[in-house]
Structure formats: structure tokens, C-alpha cells
Amino acid sequence: ESTEKTVDERLLKVCQLLEENISYYNWVGFYFKNGDKEELKLGPYVGAPTDHTIIPFGKGICGQVAVSNENFVVPDVSAQDNYIACSITVKAEIVIPIFVNGQNIGQIDIDSNTPDPFTDKDERFLEFVCAKVASIL
Ligand code: SME
């Protein structure tokens, strides 16, 4: 029997490490393009369970990143009109796309209960994390 970790186990570990070590990362999860469909499917995550296991492209912060291929930093979720609320405790969100062979295949999504907590440092760090994640998919 193999003791190799599966990809999902590794992704869950990434979520756990981020949530445990960065105080203002309160929900950390991955969404991936769902096969050939124009939608995202929830992957491994830590934090409060969410009803939003499928997100159509274009919908919410995550769905917008699926089509823009760009980082999306939201300092105040209440100021967004195209936003899907998962928990009333969330104040801010950051979504960073994951590229494999130049294709946007998914993203890391982080919610914070702290207002306006994300800086350029978070973007650079999470881009690095996403590049590492891309290399194990
Ligand atoms: N807030 C996200 C939905 C995912 S939950 O944060 C886990 C959005 O607007 O796309």
C-alpha cells in the first residue's frame, strides 16, 4: 500500500498551513475549473463549510477571477456588488489564479474576518504558493 500523499491531501495541507500560520487567513480553499464546464468546483479547504461548491464563471469574486486571469484583492466585501457571501463574519477576500501551461485552471481563495488585511506581500506570497501548487497538479 502506498504512503504517497494524494494531490487532494497535499492541497488540504497547504490550506491548513496557511490558516494556522497567518492570523488573518480565516477560510482557505481551492476552486478548480470543473472539467469542460464554465464553472468552478470547490476543492480542499479549511474553515466554515460553504454551500458554494459550484460557482459559475463570472459570478462572485471567484467567478470573476476565472475569466479575468488576474488577482482580485477585496479590502471590503460589503462594497462589492458581484460577491457571493459564504459567512457573515467575512470582511475581506483575496483570490489568486493558478496557471498550468499558461491556462487558468483554478485558484486559491482566502477569506479574512479582519477588514483590509491584504497587502502586496500577500499577493506575491500567494502567487508563489500557487506556482508551487501548479507544479504538483
Ligand atoms: N466569496 C466568494 C465565494 C466563495 S466563499 O468565499 C468560500 C466569491 O464571491 O466568489
pLDDT in tens, 48-94: 999 999 999 999 999 999 999 999 999 999 999 999 998 999 999 99
Residue 21 has pLDDT above 90, yes or no: yes
**What whole-number distance in Å separates Cα of residue 87 and Cα of residue 90?**
6
Complex-level ipTM = 0.95
User: 86 CB under 6 A from ligand 1?
Assistant: yes
Q: Quote the Cα angle for 113-11-110, to 5°.
A: 20
* Cα-to-centroid distance, 30 and ligand 1 (Å): 11
Of 1-5, 40-44, 91-95, the range with the lowest mean pLDDT is 1-5
Please, are residues 33 and 106 in contact by the beta-carbon 8 Å criterion? yes
Q: What secondary structure does DSSP assign to 116-134, as a single string? A: S---HHHHHHHHHHHHHHH
Domain ranges of the chain: 7-136
Whether residue 31 has pLDDT greater than 70: yes
Which atom in ligand 1 lies closest to the alpha carbon of residue 27?
Answer: 7
Measured by CA distance, the residue closest to atom 5 of ligand 1 is 86
| Fold observed for domain 7-136 | Beta-Lactamase (3.30.450)
pLDDT at 128 over 80: yes
Pocket flag, ligand 1, residue 60 (CB < 6 Å)? yes
CA 7 – ligand 1 centroid, Å = 23
Helix ranges (H only) for the chain are 7-21, 60-68, 120-136
Mean pLDDT of the residues in the chain = 96
